[in-house]
Structure 1
Amino acid sequence: MALPFRDINVQTASDSYIFSSPSSPNAPALSIDRPTGDIRLNDAALLAGKRVTRVTSIAGILGMIQLRLDKYIIVITKAKPVGRLRGQMVYKIVATELLPLRERQVHDPDEDRFLALLRNFIKSGPMYFSYAVDLTNSFQRQAEHDNSVPLWKRADDRFFWNRFIQSDLINFRNLGSRGQPAPQPGIDPYILPVIFGMLEIHPTTFKGTPLTLALITRRSRHRAGTRYFTRGLDDQGHAANYNETEQILVLNDSAAGLGGGFAGSSSGPGGLQRGGAAGKEMQILSYVQTRGSVPAYWAEVNMLKYTPKLQVRAIEAALPAARAHFEEQIRIYGDNYLVNLVNQKGREMRIKQAYEQVVDMLVSSPQEHAQADRRTEEKFRTIEKGGGGPARSPFDRLHYIYFDFHAETKGLQMHRAQLLIDRMRDALVAQQYFRAAEAPGSRIDGRLEVRSLQTSVVRSNCMDCLDRTNVVQSMLARWTLDRMLIDLGLLPRGSRFADEDDAFELLFRNMWADNADVVSKAYSGTGAMKTDLTRLGKRTKGGALQDGNVALTRYWKNNFLDGPRQDAFDLFLGAYQVPAGGIGSAFIFADRRPVWIQSVPYIAAFGFFFVLVALYTPRLPDAAVWPLRLFTIFWAAVALWGVHFILSNGMLYVNWPKLNPRPWATEGYHETINRVRKDRILGPLVARHERGLSTARYINAEEGKKRIE
């Protein structure tokens, strides 16, 4: 089978980069010409005499990307082992290097900014890969695949995070080049799929029985981005902040520990190890859940207010996208149990109503049922296909369940979230989970003997698909893990693992709390809220204070730091493609607001500074009082005016994405700048000194080719 090379040497020559595997001397070498970027496969022996200036050992090729002036090869220079699944090592990307095809002589601020975006994004993004295990697919999907197919071809397109930057290698593999116009399967071992998200593997014991507990969260590369700049669905039906989380339990894993460098230890063809520990069959049990933004067209518009302005477009307009989204979900997972956790009152009510309208329009003869209690008028609301009988539409496999999470858990009574699990018990029992075995001496291709399949999935969401969502997902995972351990005979029927093994319980809690933090940080820029419940099993005052700190940090980052983060997502994933050869306007990232608009924060800061100077400067005994008072009052008034102006015109001070402008940002910006022109103080100055304002700040990005793969 064509697995990725575990060891690659890069030879840097004046006219090319040459990639080869020392452990596979008969395999063709990959040559990328400089500066054209043309890709070739050559006999490694024929390239041996080439003069090289540097030889480097790398863990793999992350991809290639075209920026404004040059194309770069992104290579993984350092990878950290994080654990083994089925005896195969999994790695986290620690360090990368960008290899330019040209020796750049010109200093270009846009090129430098693009490079900085990429480096910071890769450095901060948790990305994982394996040379032998398909991390993009759940174990259930892996069991359906032909293991003789190259690893990258088996990858789930949604979670193949570096798919866009691998497109040059993939296109060469499928079509060849001018010199080699035919498919080139020899390049398969150089194509390495990577996932973005959370991955933890813990070899442990439960009541003395060795096993491995793992958690993988795969973030979709479609409609990926930051909290307030990426909401709802796109036109293709991809949901914002969409993640698939798989909880895995492995019994009798033969090599669950760490070890080895890039490759780890290996045995057998392709480094695969087969069979369980001490001659016992290896058993793999996994449970999959998904989360994703409410499937409608909606946005939250930053204006420096703590609560952004909510916009929801007509449901009829979003229906084709919602249909595409759920067609894919049903095709992949079967029945979908849609658990909606947003508030039923206040600003979130419109999102709840939008979701329910979407389901009503998709399901045949929808039948709604509401359940109330003393705490809330609507503790549960369900929408199902009405009329009984067989399904008349594929969307009759949607089962909507609304749970008023905040109302039910008010007053730190988080245990009441268990009501949702009780409500879904029959569905969870019918849902099952994936279970398979691999006996000692099984076929070398590593196929699993499937014993049960997961027949449906729970898709959870709150507004952000972060805090409430993770609490509920961890509860569903706990319920299913109890069931797995009972079915394995490790737990008495009717018992819970939390009551049987304290160390295992602590491991489970921390693993899911880590998952909450990683998913939250990728989307909102901070760790998750309510992790005290996940880690400690109860809501605490300390946890509530920590949530307050998280809320303030999110406010700051989402308003003032998320623009570049969103640009980095769009650049890496191909939602924005830089025009080659420096075509298009320069200074894409330049601040094109009028100078006086830019100066207001500095004026306000100077005002506060002079007030502090006036208050804390020692005064001579015989000095006049009123001049100092007037000085203080004047600068206090200037500072307060500056703060008032910024808060009143917040659209002008949010750090917006510059590569793919948001339509609501463009509209709101123009409305605000028109209002500022009428301002009695700044209006005449803005009108007089306006420089390249209007659409220039946003439309320059349109000169580049933008598309979402």
Structure 2
Amino acid sequence: MAMSSLVPFRDINIHASSTHYAFTSPSSPSAQTLVVDRPSGDIRLNDGALLGAKRVSSIAGILGTIKLRLDKYIIVITKAQPMGRIKGHMVYKVIATEFLPLRERALHDPDEDTYLHLLKTLIKSGPMYFSYSFDITNSFQRQAQSDPSLPLWKRADDRFFWNRFIQSDLIAFANGTGLRNQGGHQHGADPFILPVMFGMMRITLTRIKATPVNFVLITRRSRHRVGTRYFTRGIDDQGHVANFNETEQIVILNDGAGGLGGFAGGEQQNGRATEHHDVQVMSYVQTRGSVPVYWAEVNTLKYTPSLQVRGVETAVDAAKRHFDEQIKIYGDNFLVNLVNQRGREDQVKKAYEQMVRILVSSPGEATQADYVTNEQIHIVEASSRRQEYDRLHYVYFDFHNETKGLQWHRAQILLNQLLGDLEKGQYFRGVDMPADAQGRMEVRNQQSAVVRTNCMDCLDRTNVVQTMLARWVLTKQLQDVGALRPGESADDDTTFQDLFRNIWADNADVVSKSYSGTGALKTDFTRTGERTRAGMVQDLNNSITRYVKNNFGDGPRQDAFDLFLGTYLPSTDSIGSNRIFMDQRPPLIQAIPYALAASVFLVLVASLARPQPDGTAWPLRFFSLLWLGVGGWCMHFIYNHGMLYVNWPKLNTPRWANEGYQEVLGSVRKDKLLGPLVTRHERGMSNSRLGHMEEGKKRIQ
């Protein structure tokens, strides 16, 4: 296979006509032209350019194709921003896209317009990255084990191939499995398939003391069980957990493409130190993900949602699927759990521990206490290795109590507990083989274990712990290659220390915004090494913003994820009815927030109004008291029937949300005063608002 067909085209021109779109690469004139027929969407390859088409523009790549209610659209990347080089390979961030309709004459439907708005908002706000020549979906260790003779998209990690669903038409055509293409693999289509990763990417040329390094941090968000904070928790039947992210910290020495000088790293071999100037890559991988049992937090407009945890036994098969994959990919899993051991979170803690006891054989347990708490550290792991699940090692750390009172340094207690396992689990280290035409590396060391960290959201507490582990591993790596002497630390270089902290804090913010809608909490500690009053004020602001977004803004965000990732397929039924996104609650229920807003406005006006000198004050006071009463009743109603006012996802509405909504609406119908009014004006009765839930729904992986 030609080398040019293994990687995506760096430049693509679009030629449009009334019958097709044609995609060509001007830098590869001998390559075939990809043709998408209009309006059918059929894909074919053509030898040479097609006549009669007008060149529209140049693009950075094809993000994919998606079918909505009325039309199918080709999503193309029109602008990409260079982010830096990894071993000479440039990485780009998606900045702007365009939707190309297959129908020549645009048709309009309210739901179609909403679908397009959701997708465009997601793509614009979501940090997506790609490279034409480097597989950013795989860690360096997995890249070293992959087959370089395969096209780049076939080497991509399916979990982090974010546009995998919308590339499915092209992939089916390339594989020869499309409806109109049964002729075997179409190699000419491979360069048009561009894998895109969703997450965080920072590439920084810097120095640690006297050593020039290329410091890279990559966080890859899984495309499975993606969603927003309160609408996507726990595990699904396929073994995918919410908010699963893989974070890889990479240090590259002697990277000539970075423009910095080389480093002669010392390596102990046969008792003597040797020096070399080859490119060395050291990487360390951590993961985070929701507690792998069936659980949910139900929005009711109260600041703290109600927590539901199903029986652990029902989730055993799903947890086995999850950990089968985790052990196969990462080896031993150290399950660091940071949830609170008191209050509502204790249910989740106990469920996790019960799951581990079920999975491992002959579970042994140990508890470490101190003056702060009776359960500072709690460990559950197999007494002896008999099966693969015995590679699970559960470590609970009472993060909340141990760090209470701004004593964040006490997180070191957890690091001390993990030190022996971190030493044993190691990290990846590879050295370039200059004579290898395919750019493969000689593997000197491999990471054989991973720390999988979680708290309730897998955000704020998790960020603090992951940063701490990454700092320790970085120091060990630099000591191992001789860049630091024994006893020295990467933190000794204050300039790099500030850089390191800010990159990890930026990572925390990106992961948090994707899941909760705001930046992370506690990032002042990550950025400065100490808790500050300004940081606490920022945390308060983020917490309030999270509350507002999670209750009133996350429904559309969840819908956008479901559309883009293919967990919801739009139906062509009832086109033009605007049935899916229309608010179908009873008019009285819809009117109450407006009545509350009106009462606040009128009371404010009355309080600012001045009575006439010769007039009496009681009418104005009566007016104010009347609207205060109306406003108070409206607030009381909304508070007690909060599920009616949460902005739920309209496409894949959670089952528990539908049940809770119907239960609350049923209680309103039974109200002696409001019940007759609600029932009389209700649209469609009990299934009015969420009855469309099954319409067009289809889950695929």
TM-score interval for Structure 1 and Structure 2 normalised by the shorter chain: over 0.9
Q: Which amino acid aligns with 1:20?
A: T
Are the counterparts in 1 of residues 651 and 697 from structure 2 also a CA contact under 8 Å? no
| Structure 1 position 105, deviation (Å) | 4.5
1:218-229 equivalent positions in 2, closer than 5 A: 218-229=220-231
Partner of 1:34: 38
Question: 1:468 is aligned with what amino acid?
Answer: R
The match for 1:498 is 491
Calculate the aligned-residue CA RMSD, in Å. 1.5
CA 1:279/1:358 → structure 2, altered by over 3 Å: closer, same or farther?
Answer: closer
Q: Please, which runs of 5 or more residues in structure 1 have no aligned partner? A: 259-277
CA deviation profile, 1:348-400 (whole Å, cap 9, x unmatched): 000000000000000001011111111011000000112x3xx2111000000
Shift of 1:210: 1.5
From the superposition, tell whether residues 41 and 318 of structure 1 become closer, same or farther in structure 2 (CA, over 3 Å): same
In structure 2, distance between residues paired with 1:585 and 1:323: 44
Paired letter, 1:173: A
1:138-158 Cα shifts (integer Å, max 9, x gaps):
000000011111000001100
Cα offset, 1:446, TM superposition: 0.7
Q: 1:105 to 1:397 in 2, by over 3 A?
A: closer
Q: Which residue of 1 aligns with 2:234?
A: 232
Residue of 247, 253, 270 corresponding to 1:245: 247
For residue 130 of structure 2, give the secondary structure of its aligned residue in structure 1: strand
Corresponding residue of 1:597: 589
Q: Is the 8 A contact 1:70 1:580 kept in 2?
A: no
The answer to whether structure 1 residue 12 and structure 2 residue 51 are counterparts is no
- The answer (yes or no) to whether the contact 1:339–1:459 under 8 Å persists in 2 is yes
Name the residue aligned to 1:266. none
| CA–CA separation in structure 1 for the residues paired with 2:46 and 2:444 | 45
The equivalent of 1:74 in structure 2 is 75
- AA in 1 matched with 2:286: Q
Alignment of 1:378-457 (within 5 A): 378-386=375-383, 388=384, 391-439=385-433, 441-457=434-450
Q: Distance in 1 between matches of 2:412 and 2:513?
A: 26
Encode CA deviations 1:288-310: one digit per residue, 9 max, x unaligned.
00000000000000000000000
CA 1:187/1:636 → structure 2, altered by over 3 Å: closer, same or farther?
A: same
> Once the 2 structures are TM-superposed, how far is the Cα of residue 693 of structure 1 from its aligned partner?
4.0
The counterpart of 1:607, out of the listed 599, 602, 605, is 599
Deviation at 1:219, TM superposition (A): 0.2
Which structure 2 segments of 5+ residues have no match?
261-274
Measure how far apart 1:319 and its partner are.
0.6
| 1:254 is aligned to 2:247 | no
For the residues of structure 2 that align with 1:84 and 1:513, how far apart are their CA atoms?
22
Question: Please, which moves more after superposition, 309-318 or 612-621?
Answer: 612-621
Q: How far off its partner does 1:581 sit?
A: 7.6
- Give the CA deviation at 1:185: 1.4
2:264 is aligned to none
Indicate conservation of the 8 Å contact 2:109/2:576, yes or no. no
Pair 548,112 (structure 1): closer, same or farther in 2 beyond 3 Å: same
| 1:472 and 2:465 matched | yes
Structural mapping, 1:248-327, within 5 Å = 248-256=250-258, 280-327=277-324
The DSSP-based 3-state class of the residue aligned with 2:257 is coil
Question: 1:135 maps to what in 2?
Answer: 136
Identify the residue that residue 692 of structure 1 maps to in structure 2. Answer: 684
Cα distance in 2 for residues equivalent to 1:684 and 1:693: 12
The one-letter code matched in structure 1 to 2:391 is: R
| Distance in 1 of aligned mates of 2:61 and 2:452 | 34
Kept after mapping to 1: 8 A contact 2:18/2:104: no
- Matched residue of 1:44: which SS? coil
| Partner of residue 195 from structure 1, selected from 194, 197, 216 | 197
State, as a whole percentage, how many aligned pairs show the same letter: 63
List per-residue Cα deviations over 1:250-271 (Å, max 9, x = no partner).
001121269xxxxxxxxxxxxx
Distance 1:584 1:382 in 2: 58
Distance 1:151-1:655 versus aligned 2 partners, 3 A rule: same
Letter in 1 for 2:419: R
Amino acid at match of 2:81: K
Deviations 1:634-654 (A, max 9, x none): 001001111111111000000
Query: Cα distance 1:128–1:693, how it changes in 2: closer, same or farther (>3 A)?
Result: farther
- Note the alpha carbon deviations across 1:544-571, whole angstroms, 9 max, x for none: 1111111111000000000000000000
Distance change >3 Å, CA 581–CA 105, structure 1 → 2: farther
Q: CA deviation at 1:178?
A: 2.6
The whole-number CA distance in structure 2 between the counterparts of 1:583 and 1:631 is 47
For the 8 Å contact 1:584–1:704, the answer to whether it is kept is no
Equivalent residue of 1:255, what SS?
helix
Structure 1 stretch 394-403 or stretch 106-115: which is displaced more? 106-115
Counterpart CA distance in 2 for 1:104 and 1:227 is 39
Partner of 2:552: 560
Alignment-derived partner of residue 267 in structure 1: none
Among 497, 520, 527, the alignment partner of 2:512 is: 520
Pair 1:347 & 2:344 matched: yes
Of the three residues 25, 28, 48, the one matched with 1:24 is 28
Q: Is structure 2 residue 639 aligned with structure 1 residue 635?
A: no
Number of residue pairs the alignment of both structures matches: 682
| Structure 2 equivalent of residue 376 of structure 1 | 373
Q: Which amino acid aligns with 1:18?
A: A
Q: Are 1:150 and 2:161 an aligned pair?
A: no
The corresponding residue for 1:265 is none
Checking the alignment, whether the CA contact within 8 Å between 1:40 and 1:177 is kept in structure 2 is no
**Alpha-carbon distance change, 336 to 701 in structure 1, aligned in 2, over 3 angstroms:** same
TM-score by length of 1: 0.94
Q: Measure, in 1, the Cα distance between the counterparts of 2:35 and 2:102.
A: 12
Once the two structures are TM-superposed, the CA of residue 579 in structure 1 deviates from its matched residue by 2.6
For residues 600-679 of structure 1, what are the structure 2 equivalents within 5 Å? 600-679=592-671
Q: Residue 539 of structure 1: CA displacement?
A: 1.0
- Equivalent AA in structure 1 for residue 415 of structure 2: I
Counterparts of 1:576 and 1:597, CA distance in 2: 28
Query: What displacement does 1:701 show?
Result: 3.6
Distance 1:583 1:236, change over 3 A: farther
Query: Contact between 2:173 and 2:181, CA under 8 Å: does it hold in 1?
Result: no
CA contact (8 A) 1:109 1:587 kept: no
* Aligned-pair CA distance for 1:680: 3.7
Query: Per-residue displacement from partner, 1:315-345 (whole Å, max 9, x unpaired)?
Result: 0101110111001100000000000000000
How far off is 1:179 after superposition? 6.1
Contact residue 652 and residue 697 of structure 2 kept, 8 A: no
> Matches of 2:19 and 2:579 in 1, distance apart?
30
